[in-house]
Amino acid sequence: MSKHIVVSNEKGGVGKSTTAVNLAHGLSLRGRSVLLIDFDPQGSASRHLRHEPTPATRKMILGDESPKRLAVEVRPNLHLLSSNVELADVRDYLAMKMGRDPESARGALAQALDGLRGYDYIVTDCSPAVDVLTINAMMAGDELLVPVSADFLSAVGTEQHLQTLKLVEELGSDIELGYIVPTRFDGRTKRARRILELLQDAFGEELVTNPIRVNTSIAEAAHFGKTIFEHAPNSNGAADYAALVETVDNER
């Protein structure tokens, strides 16, 4: 059975795609078989792996093609189901379907992935919205990973996001809050340290992982279509993401 981790926060630019890509690649480097689902019409996760975004997820959900056939091996042990702007059509279609058949509208992704075997992990990168696509990801997932940029505003957004988690739980999802990942952390500032404490107080030290420090290599890597492990294996960014990978994999 795969463990399906959904990376989501409705706040934009907090490091969702960066975390999804580096987590997925880090797990694959440990010999795990990983499927990364880019579930954002922006296609950022695909580009981050130097893969031109395709409508694979759209075909999977609307065209009834199997994820096994649509997934592309982008690195050894790492397969990608890509998205591009056409995923927005799926969002509109599912939003329309909500009125007459809410259960199947919310469960379309879970349905498409049903019976998929052979992956140790599925990692899904969501868009910065609580829309029917994000709800679908949460309905399909086992664990929610919420990146939180270590600034005040994004910490507030996270609370709103957890309301959504409650909602999908009420709708029958089994997903659990698994990880709060502080990102863009600058330990030299009092504010960042304070936010880390606030997160630990609010969620418990168990749920809050080691922070991912601000690191220019992380942004550079994305720009070059590489993961941090490929672009700057000796950077702080690589060390921080390796620690996150270990935390996730050791819990399996």
Ligand X SMILES: Nc1ncnc2c1ncn2[C@@H]1O[C@H](COP(=O)(O)OP(=O)(O)OP(=O)(O)O)[C@@H](O)[C@H]1O
Q: Report the interface residues with ligand X, using CB under 6 A.
A: 12-18, 40, 44, 127-128, 183-184, 212, 214-215, 218-219, 222
Q: In what order do the strands lie in the sheet with 34-39?
A: 72-75, 78-81, 34-39, 121-126, 3-7, 143-149, 176-183
Residue 13 partner contact from Mg ion, ligand X, none using kind-dependent CB cut-offs of 5 to 8 Å: ligand X
Nearest of 140, 206, 142, 135 to residue 165 by alpha carbon: 135
Identify the three-state secondary structure at position 91.
helix
Q: How far is the CB of 221 from Mg ion (least distance, A)?
A: 14
Please say which residue, 7 or 248, places its beta carbon nearer to ligand X.
Answer: 7
Residues in contact with Mg ion, counted by CB under 5 A, come to a total of 3
Beta-bridged to residue 213, according to DSSP, are 185
User: Looking at 127-224, which runs of residues are DSSP E strands?
Assistant: 143-149, 176-183
Q: Any contact of residue 16 with Mg ion (CB under 5 A)? A: yes
Please say which residue, 34 or 150, places its beta carbon nearer to ligand X.
Answer: 150
Please say which residue, 44 or 46, places its beta carbon nearer to Mg ion.
Answer: 44
* 78 φ/ψ angles, rounded to the nearest 5 degrees: -125, 115
Residue 102 partner contact from ligand X, Mg ion, none using kind-dependent CB cut-offs of 5 to 8 Å: none
CA distance 78 to 72: 8
| Cα atoms found within 13 Å of the Cα of residue 244, Cβ hemisphere only | 34
Please say which residue, 18 or 173, places its beta carbon nearer to ligand X.
Answer: 18
Please say which residue, 111 or 217, places its beta carbon nearer to ligand X.
Answer: 217
Considering only residues 32-71, where is the footprint of Mg ion by CB under 5 A?
44
Which residues sit at the interface with Mg ion, rule CB under 5 A? Answer: 16-17, 44
